[in-house]
Homo-oligomer: A and B are copies of this chain.
Amino acid sequence: MPPQVLISEVGPRDGLQSVKATMPTAHKLAWIDALFAAGLREIEVGSFVPARLLPQMADVAEVVRHALRHPGLTVMALAPNRRGVEAALAAGVHKVTLPVSASEAHSLANVRKTRAQMVDEVREIVALRNGQAPHLRVEAGVSTAFGCTLQGPVPEDDVVRLAAALAEAGVDEVGLSDTTGMANPAQVRRLFERVRAEIGARTGAAHLHNTRGLGLANCLAAFDVGVRTFDSSQGGLGGCPYAPGASGNVVTEDLVFMFEAMGIDTGIDLDQLTVARAALRAGLPGEPLYGMTPEAGLTRGFVYADGRAAAGDQTRASFR
* Binary flags per residue of A212-243, CB closer than 8 Å to B gives 1, else 0: 11101101110010000000000000000011
Tell me, yes or no, whether A211 is within 8 Å of chain B by CB. Answer: yes
Given A217-B219, A295-B243; A262-B153 close (CB under 8 Å)? no
Q: Report which of B185, B292, B295 forms a contact with A258, defined as CB distance below 8 A.
A: B185
Question: Is the Cβ of B213 less than 8 Å from the Cβ of A292?
Answer: yes
Compute how far the CA of A264 lies from the CA of B187 in the bound complex, rounded to whole angstroms. Answer: 12
Question: Is the Cβ of A290 less than 8 Å from the Cβ of B220?
Answer: no
Q: How many residues on chain A are close to B (CB under 8 Å)?
A: 48
Question: Is the Cβ of B212 less than 8 Å from the Cβ of A292?
Answer: yes
The interface residues of chain B lying within 8 Å CB-to-CB of A212 are 254, 257-258, 292-293, 296, 299
The interface residues of chain B lying within 8 Å CB-to-CB of A224 are 224
Tell me, yes or no, whether A133 is within 8 Å of chain B by CB. Answer: no
Question: Is the Cβ of A214 less than 8 Å from the Cβ of B216?
Answer: yes
How many copies of this chain are found per oligomer?
2
Q: Which residues of chain A in 284-311 are interfacial with respect to chain B, using CB atoms and an 8 Å cutoff?
A: 290-293, 295-297, 299-301
Question: Is the Cβ of B290 less than 8 Å from the Cβ of A245?
Answer: yes
Question: Is the Cβ of A301 less than 8 Å from the Cβ of B184?
Answer: no
The interface residues of chain B lying within 8 Å CB-to-CB of A243 are 295-296, 316
Question: Is the Cβ of A246 less than 8 Å from the Cβ of B296?
Answer: yes
Closest B residue by C-beta to A183: B261
* Binary flags per residue of A243-272, CB closer than 8 Å to B gives 1, else 0: 111110001001001100111100000000
Compute how far the CA of A182 lies from the CA of B297 in the bound complex, rounded to whole angstroms. Answer: 10
Q: Report which of B149, B247, B291 forms a contact with A300, defined as CB distance below 8 A.
A: B149
Q: How far is the CB of A296 from chain B (nearest CB, A)?
A: 5
Q: How far is the CB of A69 from chain B (nearest CB, A)?
A: 33
Tell me, yes or no, whether A147 is within 8 Å of chain B by CB. Answer: yes
Compute how far the CA of A67 lies from the CA of B31 in the bound complex, rounded to whole angstroms. Answer: 54
Question: Is the Cβ of A245 less than 8 Å from the Cβ of B242?
Answer: no
Tell me, yes or no, whether A111 is within 8 Å of chain B by CB. Answer: no
Q: Report which of B186, B245, B296 forms a contact with A181, defined as CB distance below 8 A.
A: B296
Compute how far the CA of A242 lies from the CA of B316 in the bound complex, rounded to whole angstroms. Answer: 9
Tell me, yes or no, whether A177 is within 8 Å of chain B by CB. Answer: no
Q: What residues make up the interface of A, taking CB atoms closer than 8 Å to B?
A: 147-149, 152-153, 180-182, 184-187, 210-214, 216-217, 219-221, 224, 242-247, 251, 254, 257-258, 261-264, 290-293, 295-297, 299-301, 316
